[in-house]
Structure 1
Amino acid sequence: MAAIRGSGPGTRLLFSLLALPLLQVAVCLEPITMGITIAAVSAFTGYVSFPDFYCGRLVECCRVDKPFNNTALQNDLKEKLFGQHLAQEVIFRAVTGFISNENPKKPLALSLHGWTGTGKNFVSKIIVENLYDLGMQSKFVHLFVSTVHFPHNSLIPLYKDQLQSWIRGNTSSCARSVFIFDEMDKMHPGLIDAIKPFLDYYEHIDGVSYRKAIFIFLSNAGGELINRRVLEFWKEGKRREDLELKDVENVLSVGLFNNINSGFWHSSLIEKNLIDYFVPFLPLEFVHVKKCVLAEMRHRGYEEDKDLAHQVAKEMTYSPKEERLFSDKGCKTVPAKLSLHL
């Protein structure tokens, strides 16, 4: 067979076609042989990048060194999250600062608090989608729901052992593991303290480093404290956008520590200052609910209808009774309400 010369587009295409059968064979091989085969093809063609091909098309890989798109995260928070200027700012700075630090001293721990429907779960989804292409379906993202995974008070010792084992095993597999704890306000007091060693400033624990992991806690606890502070701002004639993190964070952490229904009651995570940020999610107002309706229309492929959005937002319930300022369920029931009109 004559030697193939040249390096133009046609030549690279021919190389790729010749390599295709080898790649198909590689998929059927065990990981070590497959890696050698793909690497050999890559060297031959100069066309296939082994990490990109193997990790992008064959399996999902934990790549701590993968470039992080700060702008994409910022745009997602700005365009998809309504009425949460504090959460947008804090989460963007916290996540980008942590990811860009090649040698963090401890894992990132975010505790998100506020009424239902204000965007806590939505923000968690945004964060992991910017970290992993598969988002919440990634094998490196782990969701714990208190009422599902830890339902029985009598089994707390067992849950603590299981929780430590899950975190140890998954972080051993991927240093950039993400652990999300939903319904913290329904978690049994003392249970969350089982993960305290993994959030602390240890370089290694039994040979495993947890410093690049991310822990996210979601809770309705503290919602009343946040709403009260926002209402005070409103009565003082101030804009909600003028509310700063320092106006809420301290009273929030103290309130959670002393609230037996918070999941953080007398928790060592708060006592030892291992939660990096207590992020308040403000109650949503009428204008924010309208934006949620419009966003849901776009998501379903409909053209925006501002009159319909106004009508759907009006059908939501608001409190306090006199002011009718805050949506009782945030944007949580918007999809169901909109379906009645579509």
Structure 2
Amino acid sequence: MNVEISNPSRRKLVLKTHASDPSKALVLYQPFPGGQCIGKNLALNANTECKPANHFLKPTNKIESKEKCKKTCETSDPKTSSYGNIFLLGVILIVTVILSLTSSYKDWDLCDTKSMEVDLKLLKHELTTNLYGQLPAAKTIIDALEELQVTVEQMAVLVLLGGPGTGKTWTTHLIANSMSEQTNQVSLHLGPWSNLQEIQMAFHELKCCHWNLIFIEDSDYANSQLIETLLDMVSSVSQNISCARQKIVIILTSNYGQKEFAELLFHERERFGTRHTVSHEDIRETIKKLTSHLINGFAQRKIPFVPVPYLPLEKMQLEQCIHNDLQLKKKVASPDLIDKIIQHFRFIPPRKDYFVAAGCKTVPTFVNLYT
């Protein structure tokens, strides 16, 4: 070991190893003029430029030596390395998000545009022309489907409420016939004969790149277990829509609301009004009072649905139903024949004869009786 002392106030201690082992050296020193590196226990190789300056260096090389030393020391700075890792992770994250968004729209690009076309103008014409006395119901359905068509929403649930014979099943028939052949339509009739597998299969037939319509009739005749299964399936579909391009319309029919809507229209008639003068606000307030296993189930699961009100039919609407059925059967709709058929229907309330008790439910039966 050689010790070299150049000045009492400036000491330099150099630990040298064997010539064949140049891997490590401990250099402890007071900085010389122009030196920028702090003495550390570093693994230095023979080519490193991070060396303390000495008095033998020429003045012209001082700046160059500073820059080289600074650059070499920065490359070994752990802070700089961590910033580089953070930047790299950020780039990877951005690329991943872009790729995921691109893949989510693959099915959108692959869809045939014609498969998503629905002519709601035709449906509007059919409902306003052939659904007798139910303008509030027709408007509610059209508004709901138009909103579904132009927004990013992918599912709508419509619950047709009202007494038997008021046009609920006829409405589903008009909707089904007004849609294009590209729509996927599934019908399900509930009752004591139904089973859980039938409900599950109906929802498993949903298709991507299509409008899907599920018509569920006679929900009032299903037991509590079937209703719970139905509600679970609707909830599952609403939360797990797998296709970017898909519209799902679930239409259920229920006889709940028959009494409440009859009372509402009765009070309007007593005030010398008509079914056309009943306010939408009164209808909404009446709907809020309705309770059933189905309606309560939607509320408990927080599944949004559109209630569609069907007011009780009167003699004028009954005559329209009879006339239409005679025309479909290519029979002459004479006034005498229509009066004979009307005699078979019961009207309520007593002594008032405002509303048809069963609506147009049995019109085809009595038309066949006289033709």
The verdict on a shared fold, with TM-score over 0.5 as the criterion, is yes
Instruction: Kindly indicate whether residue 190 of structure 2 is the aligned counterpart of residue 146 of structure 1.
Output: yes
* Distance change >3 Å, CA 67–CA 286, structure 1 → 2: same
Q: C-alpha distance in 2, partners of 1:275/1:179? A: 16
AA at the equivalent of 2:135: H
Q: Which residue, out of 149, 153, 161, partners 1:113?
A: 161
SS at match of 1:87: helix
Query: C-alpha displacement at 1:249, in angstroms?
Result: 3.1
- Contact 1:111–1:275 (CA under 8 A) maintained in structure 2: no
Aligned residues of 1:64 and 1:176 also touching (Cα < 8 A)? no
Indicate how the Cα distance of structure 1 residues 96 and 208 shifts in structure 2: closer, same or farther if over 3 A, else same.
Answer: closer
Q: What does residue range 11-30 of structure 1 map to in structure 2 within 5 Å?
A: none
> Match for residue 182 of structure 1?
217
Alignment-derived partner of residue 70 in structure 1: 120
Partners of 1:327 and 1:150 lie apart in 2 by 30
Indicate the residue corresponding to 1:92 in structure 2: 142
Relative contact order higher in (CA < 8 Å, ≥ 6 apart): 1
**Alpha-carbon distance in structure 2 between the residues aligned to 1:162 and 1:122:** 23
Give the superposition deviation at 1:193. Answer: 2.1
Residues 1:283 and 2:309 are matched in the alignment: no
Secondary structure of 1:242's counterpart equals coil
Counterparts in 2 of 1:272 and 1:64: CA distance versus 1, 3 Å: farther
* Equivalence for 2:343: 314
Q: For 2:192 and 2:245, how far apart are their aligned partners in 1?
A: 25
Q: What is the rounded CA distance, in whole Å, between the counterparts of 2:279 and 2:367 in structure 1?
A: 33
Cα separation, 1, equivalents of 2:232 and 2:177: 27
RMSD: 2.7
Distance in 2 of aligned mates of 1:62 and 1:254: 44
- 239-248 vs 215-224, which moves further: 239-248
1:1-25: CA deviations, max 9, x gaps? xxxxxxxxxxxxxxxxxxxxxxxxx
**Structure 2 CA distance for partners of 1:229 and 1:199, relative to 1, 3 Å:** farther
Tell me the equivalent position of 2:233. Answer: 195
- What secondary structure sits across from 1:214 in the alignment? strand
Q: Which has the higher helix share?
A: 1
Listed one character per residue, the Cα deviations across residues 47-90 of structure 1 (whole Å, up to 9, x for unaligned) are xxxxxxxxxxxxxx997644332332122112211111111211
TM-score (norm 1): 0.67
Q: In the alignment, what sits opposite 2:172? A: 124
Unmatched runs of 5 consecutive residues or more in structure 1: 1-60, 152-158
Give 5+ residue unaligned stretches, structure 2: 1-110
Query: Aligned partner of 1:89: which letter?
Result: K
What is the rounded CA distance, in whole Å, between the counterparts of 2:113 and 2:194 in structure 1?
31
Q: Is 1:299 matched up with 2:328?
A: yes
Which residue type is aligned with residue 120 of structure 2? Answer: N
Corresponding residue of 1:9? none
Q: Is the 8 A contact 1:171 1:208 kept in 2?
A: no
Report if aligned partners of 2:116, 2:211 keep a CA contact under 8 Å in 1. no
The structure with the largest strand share of the pair is 2
Count of matched residue positions in the alignment of Structure 1 and Structure 2 = 258
Q: Distance in 1 between matches of 2:113 and 2:170?
A: 24
Relative distance call for 1:122 and 1:297 in structure 2 (3 A) is same
1:341 aligns with 2:370: yes
What is the percent sequence identity of the aligned residues? 18
Kindly indicate whether the alpha-carbon contact (under 8 Å) linking 1:118 and 1:284 is maintained by their aligned counterparts in 2.
Answer: yes
Please identify, of 86-95 and 301-310, the stretch whose mean Cα deviation from structure 2 is larger.
Answer: 301-310
SS at match of 1:109: strand
Look up the equivalent residue of 2:214 and give its one-letter code.
F
For the pair shown, the structure with the greater C-alpha radius of gyration is: 2
Q: In the alignment, is residue 218 of structure 1 matched against residue 253 of structure 2?
A: yes
Aligned to 1:321, the other structure's residue is in SS state coil
One-letter amino acid of the structure 2 residue matched with residue 193 of structure 1:
L
8 A Cα contact 1:64 1:175, kept in partner: no
CA distance in 2, matches of 1:93, 1:304: 34
